[in-house]
Structure 1
Amino acid sequence: MSHPVALMSGPVEVPLQLAAAGDASEHRPLIITLFGLFVVATLVITVWAGRQTKSASDFYAGGRQFTGFQNGLAVSGDYMSAASFLGIAGAIALFGYDGFLYSIGFLVAWLVALLLVAEPLRNSGRYTMGDVLAYRMRQRPVRTAAGTSTIVVSIFYLLAQMAGAGVLVSLLLGITSDAGKIAIVALVGLLMIVYVTIGGMKGTTWVQMVKAVLLIAGTLLITFLILLKFHFNLSDLLGSAASNSGKGAAFLEPGLKYGATATSKLDFISLGIALVLGTAGLPHILIRFYTVPTAKAARKSVIWAIGIIGAFYLMTIVLGFGAAALLKPGDIIASNKAGNTAAPLAALEIGGGAGSTGGAILLAVISAVAFATILAVVAGLTLASSSSFAHDIYANVIRKGEATEQEEVRAARWATVAIGVVSIALGALARDLNVAGLVALAFAVAASANLPTILYSLFWKRFTTQGALWSIYGGLASSVLLVLFSPVVSGKPTSMFPGVDFHFFPLENPGLISIPLGFLLGWLGTVLSKEEPDKGKYAELEVKSLTGTGAH
């Protein structure tokens, strides 16, 4: 998942100072080799999976052949992005306890997904969120709304990932020209198109599984080396981090980042709500539940994901406090103001420091893992948006349910190419921008538009088509507008457009306003609707969602 920690920062940035500090030019062949090995391996997997993709079920849901463990691993790969890997460690390194709160938010979010969404969604739908909404409502308007919301969330997420990939790779390889950076963004986009068009869900799932293993292994290695440095004594690690941070005991207590003002307190509440609720509405996470054969496997996949993701976020605590203990805060900030380079800097330091072979090797490994993470998340996002376009908009709105499976899959592949081209263009334009607001927007839209509609559809008998449309479009519009007129876009030195100021919304995340508004509009649209809900259809959906009877 690019991930929401970029809310406070921007794309995954590895500045030129870091490349120079590690004497990256001397070890550039190693970096290129590691990047190349991952790309070649994943392309082989994609081609192999593509040969087994024969039907729409194979393309959209991997033939529903993945086990709970395999899907849990893939969900983890989809969720744990480079921004969470680098961003959370950076937040902890700079803000101590307040940075750790991000890890808690992400893990709690999976409990919401497990308890409210995973099993009912898998039982009720076929390939997309639109399937669930259209079961008892007017198909064309709700599928159009669901497809629009899915594509908007995915495109903004893709933009952040593409820009992050361009910055990461260009700086590590010493590419400074604009043309070179655009070429790297285009390369990532091309790989993304290949993964999805050839491999479909099968190829994407295996790529995400490989990426999850690499990310856990890389994080585990650095965590082990940091703990070894402090003789596996957490008290010494935390004490050294607090002392070295220059903030003393306050580093281990709440309040360094949030709590200084009423606005910052509200901002944290807003961000927390968006993270916890947004996960259960993210399109590329929702479609993963359709890849397992049974509801039991769907539950197991979420439980495995919670375990894997929980272990990962526990290790980010060691990475973050380890970076704080090993590095001066001024060095981290000089490298990247948001602290995104804390983990690579810690890897460089723990491997022997700048100029050492050990440090360069660890830096190369961490960078390759981050690149692998970006590619896997990009593939998942592209598949979610192209599937929603082909299945919801093309097959059921444009063709009115008369498209064959082959035509639907062909439309999905063409949609993948179109979305890839758009992402390349936007990623190239945003390569030098702070794209924090785009990630914030993706989570805010998911929590504001998708989640209220899903929950109302599954659990409220009176919910109508008008309620669904008001909820989706209202949540979508409010979250987009509030972010556009927030400090994320203008009015601050760290804004996307720092030279202008047209913001009037004081919070950096719109969740506190747009999420309740999404729920409110769904309720209001329903009670004001003259449409009589189909109680028989709701009864069928209730039985299907709770028992799995008749599920695909």
Structure 2
Amino acid sequence: MRSVLAADGATATVGSPAINISIFGVFVLVTLVITFRASRNNKSAADYYAAGRNISGTQNGLAIAGDYLSAASFLGIAGAIAVYGYDGFLYSIGFLVAWLVALLLVAELMRNTARYTMADVLAFRMRQGPVRTAAAISTLAVSLFYLLAQMAGAGGLVTLLLGVTGEAAQALVVVLVGALMIIYVLVGGMRGTTYVQIIKATLLIAGALVMTVWVLALYGFNLSALLGDSVANAVEGRDVLAPGAQYGATSISKLDFVSLGLALVFGTAGLPHVLMRFYTVPTAKDARRSVVWAIWLIGIFYLFSLVIGYGAGALVGPETILGAPGAVNSAAPLLAFELGGTVLLGIIAGVAFATILAVVAGLTITASASFAHDVYASVIKKGKVSPNGEVKVARITAVVIGAVSIGLGILALQAGLNIAFLVALAFAVAASANLPTILYTLFWKRFTTQGALWSMYGGLIACIVLIVFSPVVSGAPVNPATGLSPSLFQDVDFHWFPLNNPGIVSIPLSFFLGWLGTILSKEKPDLDKNAELEVRSLTGIGAEKAVQH
């Protein structure tokens, strides 16, 4: 095996930095050209936010897959499977099952009732100002958690491939990724982001297919032999084919698994950047088609990730993975280097890098659109603002969000957190703050503004508070393999909530608060508006009028 560790235990550069930089440069150059070409058609707010609503269902399915198959899917899950085996694959199952919730309860209904953002639906039959403000705050919170994971993934990946050492150099890498992300959003808008995501999804799935076939070919396409080698190379005493390596040791870790599962399954339908993709298609039928395409593409990719993860465990080994920059997030690049040397490593790393850039661009445009459309245009200016003025504010917001995500990404990178796990926290926030309010709005005619505010703010605050006072932020035991605590802040301990993922508490609480706020509200629901929302969501009648408004 080609070792990535020097004799003295220090990390050596993996592959050739010159080749890695060249392949990175080609990906960045191609995507920038696409972005600048797409910017020529950004003549209105609908062009900037929703790509002119002329993306086909098939194209949007590819773009959704590109948005969804983030650094967590490619780097984090492969690493989790390589190190923990069965328990790592639970991320894939949760991420995939979640699409059934999105398909059956959300996709078509959201497409029929909104213009650009989630708040368009929530505020349809309620008081505009407070509901739009709450939805914008929730969108920004989810986006920042998600961006935190992507930035950490980008920093760890480039650190591994370029041999960058030292906290300052790693921080500079994150800053450069953030700057590229901001350029994509400022110039290309949703149209440019969509094209980048389509290309990136195609390359990512093709790259995963190549690695999967290569690994299986080494074992004569005998999956049992591959799994046997993975067991033989596993951390001593750990059965990577059985459940419990990560979540079964104690009652607390079992509860943590249930909490994680709830967050993954219910989080997708509340992710603002996924919901916003439904507004780029011309009809509700295209929205359904795009979700079906996404389910197939994502499901196939997760099957590939199973082979890639166990292949990394068998051919690279968990000790080498945990000792590399980025720790578990380095499993897929290290496996590529083991299989095909410098060239395959450079290609796979370039695809992973493009993956991160596309996802952060989609997140940033969603967060900036939410602030500009929901807070600035609808609440502050009360609708009296030109589309160009709204887009200008969205671009300014994108710069601010990029700067904040860069700072948080540097912290996450230096703590060595698994990015699949970080994304799971974003799912928990989305499931707690957004999904209960969306479902109540679409399906409960008595739901009121007070119920919506209690549900969104209550779920959001509870989720973030529990995360802040959990082992994710402080107090987790030191990992003997890395010498670091997996907490965001080292050498301090102020945690009192025992679970890493708060979904088991915050998601039911958000549903309860939405019900309680409505029951205690003196506000009478607008039954006429509710009837209009119901007809529009189920039939699409009147949807085009909202789009052209």
Settle same-fold status: TM greater than 0.5: yes
Matched, 1:477 2:466: no
For residue 531 of structure 2, what is the aligned residue in structure 1? Answer: 539
The equivalent residue for 1:122 is: 111
Q: Does 1:28 align with 2:17?
A: yes
Q: Is the 8 A contact 2:14 2:163 kept in 1?
A: no
Counterpart in 2 of 1:380? 362
Distance 2:108 2:250 in 1: 41
SS for the counterpart of 1:432 is helix
Deviation at 1:438, TM superposition (A): 5.0
Q: Per-residue deviation at 1:138?
A: 0.3
1:461 corresponds to which residue?
445
Alpha-carbon distance between aligned partners in 1 of 2:246 and 2:179, rounded to the nearest angstrom: 39
How far apart are 1:193 and its partner, in Å?
1.5
Shift of 1:81: 1.1
Can you list the C-alpha shifts for 1:241-265, whole angstroms capped at 9, x where unaligned? Answer: 2333367994322222222211111
* Alignment correspondent of 2:482: none
Q: Deviations over 1:168-216 (max 9, x none)?
A: 2234223324443333222222211111111111001011111111111
Aligned match of 2:231 in 242, 262, 266?
242
AA in 2 matched with 1:384: T
TM alignment of 1:455-534, pairs within 5 A:
455-492=439-476, 493-534=485-526
Measure the CA separation in 2 of the matches of 1:423 and 1:257: 28
- After TM superposition, the score normalised by the length of structure 2 is 0.92
- Specify the SS of the correspondent of 1:486: coil
C-alpha contact 1:467 1:521 (8 A) present in aligned 2: yes
With 479-488 and 438-447 compared, the bigger mean Cα shift is at 438-447
Q: In structure 2, what is the equivalent of residue 5 of structure 1?
A: none
Q: Which residue matches 1:211?
A: 200
Q: How does 1:71-220 map to 2 (within 5 A)?
A: 71-220=60-209
Once the two structures are TM-superposed, the CA of residue 366 in structure 1 deviates from its matched residue by: 1.8
Of 428-437 and 154-163, more deviation after overlay is shown by: 428-437
Q: How many residue pairs align between the two structures?
A: 530
Moved more, 269-278 or 250-259: 250-259
Give the direction of change, closer, same or farther, for the CA distance of 1:248–1:283 in structure 2 (3 Å limit).
same
Matching residue within 219, 225, 230 for 1:230? 219
With 410-419 and 325-334 compared, the bigger mean Cα shift is at 325-334
Q: Please give the secondary structure, in 2, of the residue aligned with 1:245.
A: coil
| Contact 1:241–1:325 (Cα < 8 Å) also in 2 | yes
Encode CA deviations 1:71-106: one digit per residue, 9 max, x unaligned. Answer: 000000111112221211122122222222221111
- Look up the match of 2:479: none
CA 1:166/1:257 → structure 2, altered by over 3 Å: closer, same or farther? closer
Partner of 2:543, secondary structure, is coil
Q: What amino acid is the match of 2:437?
A: T
* 1:38 has 2:27 as partner: yes
Letter in 1 for 2:409: G
RMSD over aligned Cα atoms: 2.1
User: For each residue in 1:209-256, what CA deviation from the matched residue of structure 2 results, as whole angstroms up to 9, or x when unmatched?
Assistant: 111111111111111110111111222222332333367994322222
Deviation at 1:48, TM superposition (A): 0.7
- Unpaired runs of 5+ residues, structure 1, are 1-13, 352-358
Q: CA deviation at 1:300?
A: 0.4
Residue 22 of structure 1, CA deviation: 6.0
The answer to whether the Cα contact below 8 Å between 2:156 and 2:330 also exists between their aligned partners in 1 is no
Contact residue 47 and residue 203 of structure 1 kept, 8 A: yes
Corresponding residue number in structure 2 for 1:273: 262
User: Is the contact made by 1:90 and 1:342 (CA closer than 8 Å) also made in structure 2?
Assistant: yes
The CA deviation string for residues 248-283 of structure 1, in whole angstroms up to 9 with x for no partner, is 994322222222211111000000100110111011
Corresponding letter in the other structure for 2:540: G
> Which sits farther off after the overlay, 151-160 or 392-401?
151-160
Superposition TM-score, scaled by structure 1 size = 0.92
Matched ranges for 1:432-471 at <5 A? 432-435=414-417, 439-471=423-455
Counterpart check, 1:427 vs 2:427: no
Identify if the C-alpha distance between structure 1 residues 424 and 264 changes in structure 2 by more than 3 Å, giving closer, same or farther. Answer: closer
Structure 1 position 499, deviation (Å): 0.9
Deviates more, 1:339-348 or 1:294-303: 339-348
Query: Identity over aligned residues, as a percent?
Result: 65
Structure 2: segments with no counterpart, 5+ residues: 477-484, 545-549
Could you tell me how far apart the structure 2 residues matched to 1:88 and 1:343 are? 9
* 1:409 alignment partner AA: V
Alpha-carbon distance change, 520 to 115 in structure 1, aligned in 2, over 3 angstroms: same
- CA 480–19 in structure 1, closer or farther in 2 if over 3 Å, else same: same
Report how far residue 339 of structure 1 moved: 2.5
Report the 3-state secondary structure (helix = DSSP H, G, I; strand = E; otherwise coil) of the residue aligned with 2:269.
helix
1:405 to 364, 387, 395: 387
Residue 345 (structure 2) aligns with: 363
User: What amino acid maps onto 1:94 in structure 2?
Assistant: V
Secondary structure of 2:415 counterpart: coil
Larger mean Cα displacement after TM superposition, 44-53 or 422-431? 422-431
Q: Tell me the distance in 2 between the aligned counterparts of 1:316 and 1:154.
A: 25
Deviation at residue 342 of structure 1 after TM alignment: 2.0
Counterpart amino acid of 1:510?
P
Give, in whole Å, the separation in 2 of the partners of 1:298 and 1:251.
Answer: 39
Please give the secondary structure, in 1, of the residue aligned with 2:350.
Answer: helix
Whether the 8 Å contact between 1:130 and 1:147 is mirrored in structure 2 is yes
User: Could you say which residue in structure 2 is the equivalent of 1:4?
Assistant: none
The residue type paired with residue 158 of structure 2 is: V
Q: Which amino acid is 2:452 matched to?
A: A
Aligned equivalents of 2:89 and 2:110: distance in 1? 31
